[in-house]
Amino acid sequence: MKIKILGNGGFYNEGLAYNALAIDGHVLVETPPDILQSLHSQGMKPSQIDTVYISHNHGDHCFGFPFFFFNWLYAGGSDSHYEKQTELVIIGPEGLKEHLKALMRLAILPEHQYLFDFDQRVKFVEIDERSIVSTSGGLWFGFLRTKHFVPTFSLVVGKTGPDKGIPSCNDYLENAIFIYSSDTSMFDGIYKLLSSSARLILCDTNGEEDNGVHMSPRELMAAENQVRTRSSERADLSEYRLSGENDKDRVLGIHLSKKMDRAQGLKFAQPGEEYCIE
Ligand SMILES: [Zn+2]
């Protein structure tokens, strides 16, 4: 699995590309206001995407959707998704579909053709904590509700088995490969994510001191150290986790307020970085 960082900035930030990433070159996670610029600056095109995940309806996660969708649909002329009648899968929480359509109406005109095309070409998958969604490319997605102002879900990603099997909502964390926490203040669910089998966990932190809205590097590393101490008492987990030279950076920060490389022992993911998880 390949995780490409497209941006690492939060709602409040000093000029960073907004928080977004791609999985295996065809899944887009978040559509912030500058998503077209971030895709193109990382050598990607909207047309590569077949699945979009949006964690919640705050503007730094979805205000770029009208521009992404317009370009996804129409760019490429006779080779466009519009001409090929391709379907785009959008996965997100309850209310997101209407929120995206409202943004599209504001972006051009209430009766613009692309609103009709949205209804025809988008398969919307509404999720909650019990959802496990099978996607293209042999992936499955599970979800954990975070502690944020609006319904927001962490994304937990794994690979379907040889028999195309997917885990249940009771054991998906034990089968996780990659996790993106999305926006959250510190809460018990973070311990669940950190205790999972995921080899890479991107966590919401604005990189600053504890503020009750986003996790601070101090809070996050304290939780990770607590989980590690617990898991080191379990041979199966410690052997699994502690193999590999990159293990110390299994947890990375994202959604920053300003450019930072590392704080309190936490490394921050940077635009352009690609993490390959075997
Ligand atoms: Zn938010």
Instruction: Give 3-22 pLDDT, tens digit per residue.
Output: 999 999 999 999 999 999 99
**pLDDT above 70: residue 112:** yes
209: buried, middle or exposed (CB in 10 Å: 19+, 13-18, 0-12)?
A: exposed
Report whether 195 contacts 225 (CB < 8 A).
no
Could you tell me how far CA 254 lies from the centroid of its own chain? 10
Q: Rounded to whole angstroms, how far apart are CA atoms 165 and 95? A: 29
- What's the pLDDT score for residue 102? 97
CA 152 to ligand 1 center in whole angstroms? 8
CA 180 to ligand 1 center in whole angstroms? 14
CA 154 to ligand 1 center in whole angstroms? 12
Q: Name the token pair of 28.
A: 């887009």
Phi and psi torsions of 248, nearest 5°: -65, -20
CA 234 to ligand 1 center in whole angstroms? 35
- Give me the CATH code for the 2-276 domain, please: 3.60.15.10
Q: Rounded to whole angstroms, how far apart are CA atoms 110 and 61? A: 22
Radius of gyration of the chain (CA): 18
**pLDDT above 90: residue 25:** yes
Q: Give me the residues paired with residue 89 across strands.
A: 51, 123
Tell which residue, 102, 119, 2, 125, has the closest CA to residue 52.
Answer: 125
Name the pLDDT band for 235 (thresholds 50, 70, 90). Answer: low
Name the pLDDT band for 265 (thresholds 50, 70, 90). Answer: very high
Average pLDDT over residues 266-270: 96
Measured between alpha carbons, how far apart are the two ends of the chain, in Å? 6
- What's the pLDDT score for residue 86? 96
**pLDDT above 70: residue 261:** yes
Would you kindly state where each structural domain of the chain is located, as residue ranges? Answer: 2-276
For the segment 171-214, what is each residue's pLDDT rounded down to a tens digit?
A: 999 999 999 999 999 999 999 999 999 999 999 999 899 888 99
pTM of the model: 0.94
- What's the pLDDT score for residue 237? 53
Tell which residue, 155, 231, 238, has the closest CA to residue 191.
Answer: 231
**pLDDT above 70: residue 152:** yes
CA 133 to ligand 1 center in whole angstroms? 23
Mapped onto helix, strand or coil, the DSSP state of residue 145 is strand
Q: Rounded to whole angstroms, how far apart are CA atoms 19 and 31? A: 9
CA 131 to ligand 1 center in whole angstroms? 21
Which protein residues have their CB within 5 A of the ion that is ligand 1?
58, 183
**pLDDT above 70: residue 236:** no
What DSSP string describes 176-208? -SEEE--S--S-HHHHHHHTSS-SEEEEEB-SS
Q: Name the token pair of 239.
A: 């052997």
CA 145 to ligand 1 center in whole angstroms? 13
CA 213 to ligand 1 center in whole angstroms? 9
Name the pLDDT band for 106 (thresholds 50, 70, 90). Answer: very high
For the segment 54-104, what is each residue's pLDDT rounded down to a tens digit?
A: 999 999 999 999 999 999 999 999 999 999 999 999 999 999 999 999 999
CA 61 to ligand 1 center in whole angstroms? 7
Alpha helix ranges (H) inside 75-216? 81-84, 96-107, 113-121, 188-194
